[in-house]
Copies of this chain bind each other. A is one copy, B any other.
Amino acid sequence: MNVTPPFTSHATELLTNYHAVRSYTDTLAAPLSSEDQCIQSMADVSPTKWHRGHTTWFFEAFLLNPYLVGYRRFHVAFDYLFNSYYEEVGQRHPRSERGNLSRPSCEEVAAYRAYADEAMDRLLAQPLDGDIIDLVTLGLHHEQQHQELLLMDIKHVLSTNQALWPAYSGQWIADGISSANHDQVMWVDYEGGEVWLGHSGDGFAYDNEGPCHRTFLMPYQLATQLITNGEWLQFMADGGYRTPTLWLSDGWHLVQEMGWRCPFYWYRQDDQWFEFTLAGLQPVILHEPVCHLSYYEADAFARWADARLPTEAEWEYAAGNVAGSENPLQELFGRRWQWTSSPYCAYPGFRSAPGAVGEYNGKFMSNQFVLRGGSCATSQGHIRATYRNFFHPHTRWHFSGVRLARDAS
């Protein structure tokens, strides 16, 4: 995937973008039965149906209710059912019990989407001031984020059915990606020094990508490519999962408690390694980038390889703003989220926006690490060099991989 230009926030194009994003959600849900769409296979997972409702609610709560004169909400209970975590908006259905909701049905959710889309058409046909344009733009990026979450979550849902190993769609062979074989890790040198970190300029970015600010980098190197399944098998064969000194203390406790011995979604059958993918259970392909790792595993692998993970500043500086193909670093965007060693926290001068929208990113700044670069499941136009994804270090159900770094010698 190249980094395509994000959709603009010009009013004239907003409606086109709105329809494109909204209908892509429906495209993603299309292969799924109503049963598939209502299951929550662990607390971190949300049902597909809920993603479809929640992204619609976002437009209703932040745009239609306040700004479309005469709008009547689709259902009075949906504020309660489809609010994710916005305390300012009010009480919510408990997150861990989203999978107990058989109602509204998939059909009712589809009706809710159509109803809100029709209303949004009317809103977007009006002259819009900048605040509204910004909120619509945010709503579309928000929906794109949920498109990737939808894929992460349905993969987990289907993976629990280990008698049938259902495929989401045969089009997602090896998660949709074929990769050129590469022989060995190559390193690119960076001088470092004083650099700027964070988003500036005109395009859309989340609040947590700014303010743009100066920082220092020591000279460093980044690997040109992502760690592959084949390299991961070497780590496993060398006792990586049984060697405590490779691991952070919290990680080692988890390895023992959970019995981790391989990446998430790997299964051993008849002396062969298989990987559960969106296309079903498939043999592990050696030259594919390894996927579905916790931070702890990524960090332990780096230590085993006598390297380390990059900081997000190192990654962002190297990624620059150039498209992937001109960069000596390959696989920067759209293959695997790359764990950085940077805890997710505020950039200097960051302040959350007032009101409920300010809860979008700022309140999660503890206990998480930043990932960069997007994955095969990231929606087109949703990724950029300054984008900061974040997850707790023990989580594994995202499309995460490893790019190594090291200090310049």
Interface residues of chain A, those whose CB is within 8 Å of chain B, are: 33-39, 41, 49, 77, 80-81, 85, 87-88, 93, 97, 99-106, 157-158, 160-161, 163-164, 166, 194, 213-218, 244-245, 247-252, 295-296, 311, 341-343, 345-346, 348-349, 359, 363-367, 369, 393, 407
Chain B, Cβ-Cβ closest to A164: B103
Q: Give the chain B neighbours of A105 by CB distance below 8 A.
A: 33, 35
Q: Is the CB of A103 within 8 A of B166?
A: yes
Chain B, Cβ-Cβ closest to A92: B163
Q: Is the CB of B214 within 8 A of A97?
A: no
| Partner among B346, B367, B407 whose Cβ is within 8 Å of the Cβ of A341 | B346
Chain B, Cβ-Cβ closest to A251: B366
**Cα distance A157–B287 in the bound complex, in angstroms:** 46
User: Would A248 and B363 be within 8 Å (CB), given that A101-B161, A215-B216 are in contact?
Assistant: yes
**Cα distance A218–B214 in the bound complex, in angstroms:** 9
Copies in the complex: 4
Q: Give the chain B neighbours of A245 by CB distance below 8 A.
A: 87-88, 359
Q: Is the CB of B407 within 8 A of A163?
A: no
The CB with the most chain B CB atoms within 10 A, among A102, A158, A214, A311, is that of A102
9 CB < 8 A contacts A-B = A38-B102, A81-B163, A88-B245, A93-B163, A217-B348, A218-B349, A245-B359, A248-B364, A249-B364
Q: Give the chain B neighbours of A214 by CB distance below 8 A.
A: 216
User: Would A102 and B36 be within 8 Å (CB), given that A80-B163, A85-B249, A244-B87 are in contact?
Assistant: yes
Chain B, Cβ-Cβ closest to A193: B214
Q: Give the chain B neighbours of A217 by CB distance below 8 A.
A: 348
| Partner among B85, B157, B393 whose Cβ is within 8 Å of the Cβ of A366 | B393
Q: Give the chain B neighbours of A249 by CB distance below 8 A.
A: 85, 363-364, 366
Q: Give the chain B neighbours of A102 by CB distance below 8 A.
A: 33, 35-36, 38-39, 157-158, 161, 166
Q: Give the chain B neighbours of A345 by CB distance below 8 A.
A: 341-343
Interface pairs A-B: 10 shortest CB-CB? A343-B343, A87-B244, A77-B163, A35-B102, A36-B102, A100-B160, A249-B363, A35-B38, A214-B216, A41-B100
**Cα distance A100–B345 in the bound complex, in angstroms:** 35
Q: Is the CB of A213 within 8 A of B213?
A: no
Chain B, Cβ-Cβ closest to A42: B100
A334 to chain B, nearest CB (A): 27
Q: Give the chain B neighbours of A244 by CB distance below 8 A.
A: 87
Q: Give the chain B neighbours of A365 by CB distance below 8 A.
A: 248
User: Given known contacts A33-B102, A366-B393, what 6 new A-B pairs fall within 8 Å (CB)?
Assistant: A38-B39, A77-B164, A102-B166, A213-B216, A247-B363, A248-B365
Q: Is the CB of B101 within 8 A of A99?
A: no
Chain B, Cβ-Cβ closest to A162: B93
| Partner among B36, B77, B99, B248 whose Cβ is within 8 Å of the Cβ of A39 | B99
A151 to chain B, nearest CB (A): 15
**Cα distance A105–B164 in the bound complex, in angstroms:** 12
A271 to chain B, nearest CB (A): 20
